[in-house]
Amino acid sequence: MFRQLAFAATLLGAFVGALPVPCSGAQLSDVEHIIVIYLENHSFDNLFGLFPNADGIAAAGATKIQVDPDGHPYTFLPPVQHLVKKPDGTKGAEVEDRFPDNLPNQPFSIDAFVPIGEATGDLLHRYYDQIEQIDGGRMDKFAAYSDARGLAMGFYDESKTKLWDYAKRYTLADHFFHAAFGGSFLNHFWMICACTPRYEGVPPDGITAKFVNGHISQLGLTGMIRTDLLSPQGYAVNTMFAQLGPHPEHPTPPFDNFLPPIDANKVPTIGSRLSDKNITWAWYSGGWDDAVAGKASKNFQFHHQPFASFSHYEQLKSERHLLGAQDFISDIMHGTLPQVVFYEPIGELNEHPEYANVLEGDEHLDKVLRLIE
């Protein structure tokens, strides 16, 4: 089936160093480092759907045919759209003129219209919208419920990239999905604690169903699209920002999108589990130091920093568990890398559509992996 789940994609799993030769004789105790590198917002099929012998686009079957909100198959995919800022500061959708308006209703090559070294528009990736897109498992409403419309069915030929070569040399997980519906905010939490943060005492403007009007109708969508940050039970399911850690100077309403600190004594994380076992670890993030200093880069993603939402945030900083990308490279070069490492490149290098492209992210990661190897 065609997996077009826009999300915070862990494209590279764990890279382990210092494995004895041959690898078949290695034991877990032989592993010196586990390094998880986190890239953004591409499905498996979007990047690796053409990989030989993988369960990719060739196995899409009936799910490659997209239907409208009423369940009727499109003759052509809806024209590709992207969001643009209007003079009044709001965003609206415009047809993307780099793509034709008669794309067949099936997966299509993005490279035929936009080179892999150029950015495309972003795709909607929110909790309730994705439930609509999956359509009860039929996987056929990604074009219907996306502000990018037909782009949801696009894929790249990655065969000339460095990551493709790494996939051939190591293991490629073709049945890997993100853990939670929606975007980066929630999936980063599932990455470190397998949990959905809870907002006690839901603000009245935290739960609001958005119907066909205003911004939603401008996207050409029908039916009901829920943009709630919180579920009726108080679970934070869409983008919010840490109160304690770095956050935007002017958060987006409602109620400033701030998530109250999570009690670290009640909600364990992978970091606390590692510390309990005296295993060294760190979360490295591109642009981190500038963000902490209040000088965040334009493409620093505040909601990609899950440890900043926990009550022991200051302790994690002082114990050097939360660090920047330059520390990551330095620790590799000096042989001081912790045993377990998470690394998220800054926005322009993490392959996220709209503000990054696939090729630059691929080249950056290749440089990093060469240092690790």
304-355 pLDDT, tens digit per residue, is: 999 999 999 999 999 999 999 999 999 999 999 999 999 999 999 999 999 9
Note the pLDDT of residue 360.
Answer: 96
User: What pTM was computed for the model?
Assistant: 0.86
Cβ atoms of 56 and 49 within 8 Å: the answer is yes
Measure the CA–CA gap between 330 and 344, rounded to whole angstroms. 15
Closest residue by Cα to residue 326 from 278, 282, 271, 361 = 282
Question: Would you tell me the crossing angle of helices 358-372 and 162-169 to the nearest 10 degrees?
Answer: 50
Cβ atoms of 77 and 182 within 8 Å: the answer is no
Note the pLDDT of residue 140.
Answer: 95
Measure the CA–CA gap between 230 and 125, rounded to whole angstroms. 15
Phi, psi of 225 (to 5 degrees): -115, 120
Note the pLDDT of residue 208.
Answer: 54
Q: Average the pLDDT over 48-65 and give the result.
A: 93
Closest residue by Cα to residue 125 from 98, 94, 93, 152 = 152
Domain ranges of the chain: 1-373
Note the pLDDT of residue 26.
Answer: 72
For the chain, give percent helix, strand, coil, nearest 5: 30, 15, 55
Distances (CA, A) of 54 to 12, 36, 115, 208: 16, 22, 24, 41
Note the pLDDT of residue 333.
Answer: 95
Task: Please report, rounded to a whole number, the percentage of residues in the chain having pLDDT higher than 70.
Answer: 84
Measure the CA–CA gap between 48 and 173, rounded to whole angstroms. 10
Note the pLDDT of residue 311.
Answer: 97
Residue pointed to by tokens 């894929």: 155
Report the amino acid identity of residue 335.
Answer: G
- More confidently predicted of 24 and 120: 120
**Joined tokens for residue 148:** 């990018």
Which contiguous run of DSSP H or E holds residue 225? strand 225-226
Q: Is pLDDT above 90 for 1?
A: no
Distances (CA, A) of 214 to 50, 91, 319: 39, 11, 47
The 3-state DSSP class for residue 245 equals coil
Note the pLDDT of residue 310.
Answer: 97
Note the pLDDT of residue 189.
Answer: 97
Q: What is the pLDDT of residues 164-215, one digit of tens each?
A: 999 999 999 999 889 999 999 999 999 999 999 988 776 655 555 443 333 3
Note the pLDDT of residue 23.
Answer: 52
Measure the CA–CA gap between 269 and 165, rounded to whole angstroms. 33
DSSP annotation of 219 = T
Going by pLDDT thresholds of 50, 70 and 90, the confidence category of residue 216 is: very low
Note the pLDDT of residue 257.
Answer: 81
Going by pLDDT thresholds of 50, 70 and 90, the confidence category of residue 150 is: very high
Note the pLDDT of residue 211.
Answer: 35
Q: What is the pLDDT of residues 240-287, one digit of tens each?
A: 999 999 998 877 655 568 888 999 999 999 999 999 999 999 999 999
Cis amide bond preceding 261, omega within 30: no
